C-alpha cells in the first residue's frame, strides 16, 4: 500500500511539474514565480497552527488585474490533474486486488449468503431476477467542458501507459497538458438538452461499452467459482436509463422535438457501436466449420460465420441510415432495420451455439460473448429514456378542456370528481379531444410530448415520472393523455414525492391509487414510486428529510405488500449529502428491510457519472458494489430499527426540522446573508446545464433549485445544507440521558450509521476560517452576526460527531479520504481568497475579465471539493 501511495504522490508531482513548465513557457518566469510563491504560502498556511494567511492574502492582493485570471487557471487545472491522478490511483488499488476475494467483493457476499442458508440456485436465481436501473440525469453539476473531459480521459490513458513502461506516453501527456492550458475552461454558452444527451452517450461509448461485458463476465466467473452456477448470456442485473432529453420539469428547453431527436440519436448511437463490434467480429470469425443449424441458414459456403454476420451488418447499417433520414425529417424509404433486440441477438446466438458445438468454445466466449452481453444491458437504444413533467402541466390540459366543454373548472373539482371524470374517459370509446379545440401553446407542448412517447418503441422508454404528484388523479391524467395519443403498452407512471409533506402523504396517495380497480389492473402487479432527496433536504433539513424518506419507504413497502403489488423504489439522489448523495452501496444497505426486493432505480448525475463510470475499471468496481448491495438488501436485509431507536430518531428529526426552518424560513436575515456571503447570484452566469437555476426568476430560496443551493454553500465551505438543524438535534440527544442510546444506534443501525458517516465526510470538507473570510469581504456587520453564529454551530456539530463515533478527529477511521482532502486544501485556498475578492469587485465594478476569472474560481473550487451540487 505504501508503494501505491508513493506512486500517487509521484503522479501528482509529475503532472504538476508538466503544468508548471507549460505555464512558464506561456506566461514567463515572473508570473510563474508569483504562482509558486502563492502555492508555497498556501502550503505553509495549512501547516502552521491558527495561520491567518496574511502573507498569502498580501501576495494575492498584489496581483495585477491581468494576473488574476492566469493564477486562478493555474490552481484550477492543477486540481483537475490531481483528480485524474487520484482516479487512476483508485484503478491501481482495485486492480491490485481484482483476483482476490476482498470483504466487499461479490464472491465474499456469495459465500456469506451460503452460510446464511441460501442455496447456490436461490442466490443465482435472485441475481438473474435483479433489475437495477442506473438513471443518468441531465447534469447541471458537471462544470468541465466536454472537450476538456476528453483530454482528461486521454491523460488517464497516458498514466496507464506509463505504468506499463511506455515512455512515449510522457510526450503525449505533456502535449495534452499544453492543449488543456490553451483551452478555455468555461463554456461560452449553456449546453442544449441534446448536447447533454450526447455527453451521456459519450460516457457509454468511452467507458461503459467496455466495462459492462467485463463486469458481467466477472459476475459469471465469481458465480461459477463460488457457487457452481452461471449467469445466462441474456441476463444483466444492471441496465441504464436516462433523463437527458426527457426531463422537462422546469426546463422549457426540453421540448417534444428534443425528446424525439434524443430517442433517434440513441438508436443511431447503439447501431453505430454494434456495427463496429460486428465488423471486428467478422474479421475474426474466418472459420469454415459450422453446425448443421448454421449451414441450413446460410447455405454451404466457405465462411458461414462471415456470411451470417454480413446480414447482421447490413441491418445495423440500414438502421443507422433510417435514423439519419428520420433526423433530417425524411420519413420515406425502405430500409432493413432492427426493431427488437431479439432480431439482433438471434443470429449472434446462432453463431455462439455453432462455435460451441464445433469445439471452438474459447472463440465463442470472447468478442462474440461481449456483444451478446452488451445487448442484455444496452438493448437497441443504449438507454431507456424517462419522461418527467410536473403534475400541474397535465392538469392544465384538463383545465382548458373542461372549460371548452363547459364542464366548469377541472382544478376546482374535488379529487373524487377528477378521478371519476378521468376513469370514465379512460374507458370511453370516443376521442377525448374535439377537432375544433385549439389548446394554448403550453398545453400543445404537453400533447406533443405525449404523442412522441406514444409513438416510440416500448423498449426505448423507461418511466413517466410526475413531479409534485400528490393525488391519484395526477397519475390517471398522464395515463389518459398517453392512451389518447395511441400508446400501445402500459407505460410505468411513477409519482415523485419531494417535500417532507409529500413524503408523509406518500403512503395514503399510493393506497388511494391502488384502491382504484382500473388502475390496479393497469399496473399489472408492479408499482414504481420515486423518492426525491434534493428538494426534501432543502425543504426540511438533512436529518428530518432522511427520516421522512426512510418512513415513507417503510410505509410504501408494507402497503404494496398488502395490495399484492411489487414495489420498485426510484431514488432521486444527487452527488452531495445535502441531496441524498454518498456511496451508493452504503445507502442501499441502509434502506428499510424489504424495500429493496430485486429491483431498484437510482439517479446518477453530473460529475458523479464521470467519477464513478468515466474509466472502465472504476465503472466495473461501482457496478459490482451496486449489484452486491441490491442482492444483499434483497436476500439478507438488516433488521429494522428497535422501537427506542425509532422514538429517538423521531424526536431528533422534529428538533432538526424546527431548528432548520427557524433559520432558513423564519430568520429575516437569512436570505440577505445567503445572497451576500455566497456566489449564488453570480452562479447564474456559469453555463452549467440547460436548465434555468431557478424555477421562478422572481422567487427566493424556496424557488432555487437544489443544485445551486448546495453549490453556493459548498463554494464558501460552510456546507450548511448538510448539517443545519442536525447540530441542535444531536446536541439535545447527547446532552440528555439518551447519549448511550445514540451511540448504540450508530453501532447497530445501518440507516443511522450511514447518515452520520455521510455527515462526517461533508463536515471534513468544511472550513470555518474560509467562510469567515467571505463574510469579512462581502457581508455587512449586521448580517455578519448570523454568519458568526452559523460558524459556531458548525464547530459544535464537528464535536458532536466525534463524540458519537468516539474519535479524536473527523475521518480518523478513513485516513485515505482525510489525506485526499488535506492534500487539496493548499491548492483550493488561493481560489477561495481570490473568489471572495473577485465577488467584491464584480458587485461594485463588474467587467468581463473579472467575470471570467470568477467563473474559473468556481470551477476550480468544484474540482477541488469533488462536488458542485
10-residue mean pLDDT series, the chain (869 residues): 73 95 97 96 80 87 93 96 91 76 87 97 98 84 72 94 95 98 86 90 94 97 96 98 94 96 98 98 97 96 97 97 93 85 98 98 98 98 98 98 96 97 96 95 98 97 95 97 97 95 95 96 98 86 95 98 98 60 77 96 86 91 95 96 98 98 96 96 76 55 73 95 97 90 97 95 96 98 98 98 97 90 92 96 90 93 74
Which contiguous run of DSSP H or E holds residue 387? Answer: strand 384-390
CA end-to-end distance (rounded Å), the chain: 32
Q: Which three cell numbers stand for residue 34?
A: 508569483
8 A C-beta contact, residue 615 and residue 91:
yes
Q: Which three cell numbers stand for residue 367?
A: 468478442
Rounded distance between C-alpha atoms, residue 409 and residue 18, angstroms? 68
Beta strand pairing call for 131-137 and 238-242: parallel
8 A C-beta contact, residue 690 and residue 190:
yes
Rounded distance between C-alpha atoms, residue 202 and residue 306, angstroms? 29
- Any idea which residues carry the catalytic annotation? 139, 538
DSSP for 738-750, written as a single string = THHHHHHHHHH-H
Which contiguous run of DSSP H or E holds residue 484? Answer: helix 472-484
Q: Which three cell numbers stand for residue 738?
A: 439518551
Residues 148, 820, 869: CA angle, nearest 5 degrees: 55
Which residues, other chains included, contact 283 with Cβ-Cβ below 8 Å and sequence gap of 6+? Answer: none
Report pLDDT for 390.
Answer: 96
Q: 572 forms bridges with which residues in the sheet?
A: 532
Per the document, the length of the chain is 869
Helices (H), 229-340: 256-284, 292-298, 304-327
468 — alpha (psi -120 to 50), left (phi > 0) or beta?
left
8 A C-beta contact, residue 781 and residue 809:
no
How many contiguous H segments (helices) and E segments (strands) does the chain have?
Answer: 39, 8
8 A C-beta contact, residue 825 and residue 48:
no
Q: Which three cell numbers stand for residue 299?
A: 447455405
Rounded distance between C-alpha atoms, residue 392 and residue 446, angstroms? 11
8 A C-beta contact, residue 648 and residue 739:
no
The reported pTM is 0.94
Q: Which three cell numbers stand for residue 804?
A: 458519537
Rounded distance between C-alpha atoms, residue 395 and residue 418, angstroms? 10
Rounded distance between C-alpha atoms, residue 209 and residue 11, angstroms? 27
Alpha carbon distances (Å) from 190 to 151, 193, 455, 565, 775: 20, 9, 30, 43, 30
Rounded distance between C-alpha atoms, residue 326 and residue 268, angstroms? 10
Rounded distance between C-alpha atoms, residue 661 and residue 653, angstroms? 12
Q: Which three cell numbers stand for residue 811?
A: 475521518
Supply the Cα-derived Rg of the chain in whole angstroms: 28
DSSP for 65-80, written as a single string = HHHHHHHHHHHHHHHH
Neighbour count for residue 65 (Cβ, 10 Å): 11
Report pLDDT for 99.
Answer: 65
Report pLDDT for 823.
Answer: 86
DSSP for 295-307, written as a single string = HHHH-S-S-HHHH
| Reduced 3-state DSSP string for 572-618 | ECCCCHHHCCCCHHHHHHCCCCCCCCCEEEEEEECHHHHHHHCCHHH
Amino acid at each position: 500500500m505504501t508503494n501505491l501511495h508513493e506512486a500517487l504522490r509521484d503522479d501528482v508531482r509529475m503532472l504538476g511539474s508538466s503544468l508548471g513548465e507549460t505555464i512558464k513557457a506561456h506566461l514567463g518566469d515572473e508570473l510563474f514565480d508569483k504562482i509558486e510563491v502563492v502555492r508555497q504560502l498556501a502550503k505553509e498556511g495549512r501547516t502552521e497552527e491558527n495561520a491567518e494567511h496574511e502573507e498569502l492574502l498580501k501576495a494575492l492582493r498584489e496581483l495585477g488585474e491581468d494576473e488574476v485570471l492566469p493564477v486562478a487557471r493555474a490552481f484550477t487545472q492543477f486540481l483537475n490533474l490531481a483528480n485524474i491522478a487520484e482516479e487512476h490511483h483508485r484503478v491501481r488499488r482495485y486492480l491490485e486486488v481484482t483476483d482476490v476475494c476482498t470483504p466487499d467483493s461479490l464472491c465474499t457476499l456469495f459465500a456469506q449468503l451460503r452460510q446464511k442458508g441460501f442455496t447456490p440456485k436461490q442466490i443465482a436465481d435472485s441475481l438473474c431476477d435483479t433489475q437495477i436501473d442506473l438513471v443518468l440525469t441531465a447534469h447541471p453539476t458537471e462544470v468541465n467542458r466536454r472537450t476538456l473531459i476528453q483530454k482528461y480521459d486521454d491523460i488517464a490513458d497516458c498514466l496507464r501507459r506509463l505504468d506499463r513502461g511506455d515512455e512515449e506516453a510522457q510526450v503525449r501527456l505533456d502535449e495534452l497538458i499544453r492543449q488543456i492550458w490553451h483551452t478555455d475552461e468555461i463554456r461560452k454558452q449553456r449546453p442544449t438538452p441534446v448536447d447533454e444527451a450526447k455527453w451521456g452517450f459519450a460516457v457509454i461509448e468511452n467507458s461503459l461499452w467496455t466495462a459492462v461485458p467485463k463486469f458481467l463476465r466477472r459476475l459469471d466467473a465469481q458465480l461459477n467459482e463460488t457457487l457452481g452456477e452461471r449467469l445466462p448470456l441474456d441476463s444483466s442485473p444492471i441496465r441504464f436509463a436516462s433523463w437527458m432529453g426527457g426531463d422537462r420539469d422546469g426546463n422549457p428547453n426540453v421540448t417534444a422535438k428534443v425528446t424525439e431527436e434524443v430517442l433517434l440519436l440513441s438508436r443511431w448511437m447503439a447501431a453505430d457501436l454494434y456495427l463496429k463490434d460486428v465488423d471486428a467480429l467478422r474479421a475474426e470469425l474466418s472459420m469454415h466449420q459450422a453446425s448443421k443449424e448454421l449451414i441450413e441458414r446460410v447455405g454451404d459456403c466457405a465462411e458461414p460465420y462471415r456470411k451470417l454476420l454480413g446480414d447482421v451488418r447490413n441491418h445495423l447499417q440500414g438502421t443507422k441510415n433510417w435514423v439519419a433520414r428520420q433526423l433530417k425529417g425524411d420519413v420515406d424509404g425502405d430500409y432493413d432495420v432492427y426493431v427488437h433486440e431479439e432480431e439482433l441477438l438471434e443470429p449472434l446466438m446462432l453463431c455462439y451455439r455453432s462455435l460451441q458445438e464445433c469445439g471452438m468454445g474459447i472463440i465463442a466466449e470472447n468478442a462474440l460473448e461481449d456483444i451478446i452481453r452488451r445487448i442484455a444491458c444496452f438493448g437497441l437504444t443504449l438507454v431507456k429514456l424517462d419522461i418527467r413533467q410536473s403534475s400541474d402541466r397535465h392538469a392544465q390540459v384538463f383545465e382548458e378542456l373542461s372549460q371548452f366543454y363547459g364542464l366548469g373548472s377541472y382544478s376546482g373539482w374535488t379529487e373524487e370528481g377528477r378521478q371519476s371524470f378521468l376513469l370514465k374517459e379512460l374507458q370511453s370509446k370516443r376521442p377525448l379531444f374535439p377537432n375544433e379545440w385549439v389548446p394554448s401553446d403550453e398545453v400543445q407542448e404537453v400533447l406533443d410530448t405525449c404523442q412522441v412517447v406514444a409513438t416510440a418503441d416500448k423498449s426505448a422508454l423507461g418511466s413517466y415520472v410526475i413531479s409534485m404528484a400528490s393525488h391519484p388523479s395526477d397519475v390517471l391524467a398522464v395515463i389518459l393523455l398517453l392512451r389518447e395519443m395511441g400508446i400501445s403498452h402500459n407505460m410505468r407512471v411513477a409519482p415523485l414525492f419531494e417535500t417532507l409533506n409529500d413524503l408523509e402523504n406518500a403512503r395514503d396517495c399510493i393506497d388511494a391509487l391502488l384502491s382504484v380497480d382500473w388502475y390496479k389492473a393497469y399496473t399489472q402487479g408492479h408499482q414504481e414510486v420515486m423518492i426525491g432527496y434534493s428538494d426534501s433536504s432543502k425543504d426540511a433539513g438533512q436529518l428530518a428529510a432522511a427520516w421522512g424518506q426512510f418512513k415513507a419507504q417503510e410505509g410504501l413497502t408494507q402497503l404494496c405488500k398488502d395490495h399484492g403489488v411489487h414495489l420498485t423504489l426510484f431514488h432521486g439522489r444527487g452527488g452531495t449529502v445535502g441531496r441524498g448523495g454518498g456511496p451508493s452501496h452504503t445507502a442501499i444497505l441502509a434502506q428499510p428491510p424489504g424495500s429493496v426486493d430485486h429491483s431498484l432505480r437510482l439517479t446518477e448525475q453530473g460529475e458523479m457519472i464521470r467519477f464513478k463510470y468515466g474509466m472502465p475499471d472504476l465503472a466495473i468496481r461501482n457496478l459490482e458494489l451496486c449489484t452486491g448491495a441490491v442482492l444483499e438488501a434483497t436476500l439478507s436485509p438488516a433488521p429494522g430499527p428497535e422501537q427506542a431507536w425509532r422514538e429517538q430518531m423521531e424526536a431528533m428529526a422534529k428538533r432538526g426540522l424546527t431548528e432548520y426552518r427557524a433559520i432558513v424560513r423564519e430568520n429575516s436575515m437569512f436570505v440577505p446573508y445567503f445572497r451576500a456571503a455566497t456566489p449564488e447570484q453570480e452562479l447564474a452566469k456559469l453555463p452549467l446545464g440547460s436548465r434555468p437555476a431557478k424555477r421562478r426568476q422572481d422567487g427566493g430560496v424556496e424557488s432555487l433549485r437544489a443544485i445551486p443551493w448546495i453549490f453556493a454553500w459548498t463554494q464558501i465551505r460552510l456546507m450548511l445544507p448538510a448539517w443545519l438543524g442536525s447540530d441542535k438535534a444531536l446536541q439535545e440527544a447527547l446532552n440528555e440521558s439518551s447519549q448511550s442510546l445514540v451511540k448504540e444506534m450508530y453501532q447497530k443501525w445501518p440507516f443511522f450509521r450511514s447518515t452520520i458517516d455521510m455527515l462526517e465526510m461533508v463536515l471534513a470538507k468544511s472550513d470555518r476560517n474560509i467562510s469567515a473570510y467571505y463574510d469579512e469581504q462581502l457581508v455587512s456587520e449586521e448580517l455578519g452576526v448570523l454568519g458568526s453564529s452559523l460558524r459556531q454551530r458548525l464547530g459544535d456539530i464537528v464535536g458532536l460527531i466525534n463524540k458519537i463515533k468516539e474519535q479524536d478527529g473527523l475521518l480518523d477511521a478513513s485516513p485515505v479520504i482525510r489525506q485526499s482532502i488535506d492534500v487539496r486544501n493548499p491548492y483550493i485556498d488561493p481560489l477561495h481568497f481570490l473568489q471572495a475578492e473577485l465577488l467584491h469587485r464584480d458587485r461594485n465594478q463588474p467587467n468581463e475579465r473579472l467575470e471570467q476569472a470568477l467563473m474559473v474560481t468556481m470551477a476550480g473550487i468544484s474540482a477541488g471539493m469533488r462536488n458542485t451540487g
